[in-house]
Amino acid sequence: MKDFPKYLLSRVGLPQSHTLATYRAEGGYRAIEDVLKKPWKPEQVIGVIKDSGLRGRGGAGFPTGMKWGFMPDITKDPRPRYLAVNADESEPGTCKDRVLMEKDPHGLIEGCLIACFAMHAKAAYIYVRGEYRLSYSRLQAAIDEARAAGLVGQNILGTDFSCDIWMHKGAGAYICGEETGLMESLEGKRGHPRPKPPFPAGSGLWKSPTTVNNVESIFNAPFIVRNGAGWFKSMGVPKSTGNFLLCISGHVNKPGVYELPFGLTARQIIDEVALGVWKGRKLKAFFPGGSSTGLLPASMVDVAMDHDSVKAAGSMFGTAAMIILDETASIPQAMDVIARFYDHESCGQCSQCREGTQWLHQIFRRIAHGRGQMSDLDLLVSLSNGMAPAKTICALADAAAIPTLAAVKHFRHEFEECIRLGRDPLAPQPQHAPELHEAHA
């Protein structure tokens, strides 16, 4: 693999990387200083983010600059406006935002300042999943340091720009990663997603204009402001620019979080970055971007890992969370686990999702346990088609339907074999953890 420039993880290995002193020594807070002192106009900041081609790193790949541009004109709409940073990171397979928050929290804070400046936001709320205690405490300590240094709060760096950054703790519900579920949760309610429209830019937190962005998206902003759109576009491929954080987990020799340019093939990533499938085994399948993206069979391992190429291969780039399954893995067992997750996490507002996720789970479960019927496979397909696309308030229903359709499409033979045999030949030895009825937190 060719050498390539890195920036996202450039500081995480430094001693005391989470402190202001280290961040400053690495040129930290120079981007916001430049923006405030030159000064830039907010539209110029949005302009450079647009030109850079940065696409959101939270799963949908939506252009960040365009999203910022959706916020209403401040001269015509005086409502306070907010940035909500999505640090809920709960898509199975995804473990990248945590690295940035634990090891380089000031980078996220500077990103928040730049985003708030660009969108005239008076405050940013960082919504961190409750389990990420170290992320929370590192970020809180970094905000305190930055506040004491005049970088957060009133009249930042002696200018008339004021901006607060507040930490907010979630409590273990995946659906609060969906942007409108996040806003409900931040307002102190159950995380029930809101129908769209209205979109957050029109009516978000407390009915005010709001932008929700993923941690890694915001983290990119100071680099783009400092180095320019041209620099950013020199990395990656034309429609997926910059570098991204890859999470690779499952059956590989070296799972981890790696900074990579877009466009390497899945094969290169598995073999050269993660040092190959473990135990000398062969690849069977992989999820390219988290458990809600359609899994792909080994025959498609030459797909390039960028948004458009993975889409063309019939799946999604998602959160760049590759989950690798070796030749001994059972697809029915894997789908049982995944369907159980979406069943557990459906908020229950939409009947297609509430009942559909339950059905998918039950059917995968019975196939995986050798109690399936051949008609179950068509049932999985018709249920999934009843759930997605865009048939429900939010995309959790899609997140359950998409991997189901892909599994049945690419691995129908494996399900059929379980059904024919009345058992799953690839099932691991059963484990006997004693379970009470309410076994799931």
Partner 1 sequence: MALSDKLKTEFTELVAHYPEKRAGLIPALHRCQEEQGGWLSPQALEDLAEFFGLEPVEVFGVATFYPMFRLTPRGRHLVSVCHNISCTLRGAEDLLAHVCRVTGSPVGGTSPDGKFSVVRVECQGACANAPMFDLDGTYHEDLDRSRAEQILGSCQ
Ligand X SMILES: Cc1cc2nc3c(=O)[nH]c(=O)nc-3n(C[C@H](O)[C@H](O)[C@H](O)COP(=O)(O)O)c2cc1C
Contact residues: ligand X, CB under 6 A: 56-60, 62, 64, 67, 86, 88-91, 175, 177-179, 212-214, 217, 394-396, 399
Comparison of 198 and 428: residue with beta carbon closer to ligand X? 198
Q: Binding string to ligand SF4 for residues 386 to 405, with x set by CB under 6 A, is what? A: ------xxx-xx--------
Contacting residue, 32, 325, 360, 418, with partner 1 by CB under 8 A: 325
For the CB of residue 343, give the shortest distance to ligand SF4 in the complex, in Å.
10
In whole angstroms, the minimum distance from the beta carbon of 182 to ligand SF4 comes to 12
Tell whether residue 177 is a contact of ligand SF4 (CB under 6 A): no
Task: Report which of 80, 156, 76 is spatially closest to residue 113, judged by C-alpha positions.
Answer: 156
Q: Which among ligand X, ligand SF4, partner 1, none contacts residue 56 (Cβ within 5 to 8 A by kind)?
A: ligand X
**Alpha carbon separation from 52 to 47, 240, 402 (Å, rounded):** 9, 10, 30
Residues 341-380 that bind partner 1 (CB under 8 A): 341, 344-345
- The only residue of 86, 346, 384, 404 in contact with ligand SF4, by rule CB under 6 A: 346
Contact by Cβ (8 Å): 391, 367: no
Per rule CB under 6 A, count of chain residues that contact ligand SF4: 14
Question: Would you give the DSSP letter of residue 322?
Answer: E
Q: Is the Cβ–Cβ distance between 170 and 130 less than 8 Å?
A: yes
**Nearer CB in complex with ligand X: 193/332:** 193
- Counting Cα atoms < 13 Å in the Cβ hemisphere of 370 gives 7
In this structure, are residues 370 and 333 in contact, taking their beta carbons and an 8 Å threshold?
no
In whole angstroms, give the CA distance from residue 98 to residue 91.
13
Q: What is the signed CA dihedral for 256, 259, 264, 270, rounded to 10 degrees?
A: -10
How buried is 170 (Cβ within 10 angstroms: 0-12 exposed, 13-18 middle, 19+ buried)? buried
Distance of closest approach, residue 349 Cβ to ligand SF4, in angstroms: 4
Answer with the entry of partner 1, ligand SF4, ligand X, none that 354 interacts with (C-beta below 5 to 8 A by kind).
Answer: ligand SF4
Closest-CA residue to 18 (of 98, 73, 118): 98
**Contact flag: residue 431 with partner 1 (CB under 8 A):** yes
The only residue of 170, 288, 332, 372 in contact with partner 1, by rule CB under 8 A? 170
Coil, helix or strand for 318? Answer: coil
Q: Is the distance from CB of 264 to CB of 303 less than 8 angstroms?
A: no
Window 66 to 95, contacts with partner 1 (CB under 8 A): 80, 89-95
Residue position matching structure tokens 């708030």: 116
Binding site for ligand SF4 (CB under 6 A): 175, 193, 346-350, 353-354, 392-394, 396-397
Binding site for partner 1 (CB under 8 A): 80, 89-95, 97-98, 129-134, 164, 166, 168-174, 185-191, 206, 247-251, 255-257, 287, 291, 321, 323-325, 329, 333-334, 337-338, 341, 344-345, 428, 431-441
